[in-house]
Amino acid sequence: MAVHPAIAPLTFLLGKWRGQGEGTYPTINPFSYGEELHFSHSGKPVIAYSQKTWKLSSGEPMHAETGYWRPKPDGSIEVVIAQSTGLVEVQKGTYNAEEKVIKLRSELVGNASKVREINRVFELKDGELSYEVQMATNLTSLKPHLKAMLKKLESEEKPQS
């Protein structure tokens, strides 16, 4: 089964990515983590997304999330994410297939007592996928929260069911 034409501009994401990241926020101590992202497709006009992180020192799990990315032909994209904390995100944004940049901004952050807004920017440069996450809470305006650099472990040419 071939890649659906709707996701063709983002096929560079498909596969497993692994690397390290750093977290910070005005209300927490800085931290580092290991991370794996997986982007897959089923032949439909959507990319399945999963992410997991762990403590570098012990390998102990830290965070996980899963969701779906729906790119549109006009360069817009819709993303839904469910986090292991119970928080859910509905994001909209844009992608630039030539520059390999995806910018997302939350339309809705649900089931969150403190988080008001989450923005994410992904970029592929020199074979590495980087991202930055900004977050706003009831107490703070939009501030940097997470950033990571990931390398591709394996590509995914065949659809996953």
Per-residue pLDDT of the chain (161 residues; tens, 9 = 90+): 789 999 999 999 999 999 999 999 999 999 999 999 999 999 999 999 999 999 999 999 999 999 999 999 999 999 999 999 999 999 999 999 999 999 999 999 999 889 999 999 999 999 999 999 999 999 999 999 999 999 999 776 555 54
CA distance 113 to 98: 38
pLDDT of 113 reads 84
Who contacts 32 (Cβ-Cβ below 8 Å, separation ≥6)?
20, 21, 22, 23, 56
The gap from C-alpha 147 to its chain's centroid, in whole angstroms, comes to: 11
For 65, phi then psi, to 5°, come to -155, 160
**CA distance readout (Å), 101 to 13, 19, 48, 77:** 11, 18, 18, 12
Neighbours of 36 (CB within 10 A): 16
pLDDT of 160 reads 53
Side-chain-facing half-sphere of 111: CA atoms under 13 Å = 10
Residue type, 70: R
pLDDT of 154 reads 73
pTM of the model: 0.93
Name the nearest CA neighbour of 44 among 2, 92, 81. 2
For 87, phi then psi, to 5°, come to -75, 140
CB 134 within 8 A of CB 143: yes
CA distance 97 to 90: 22
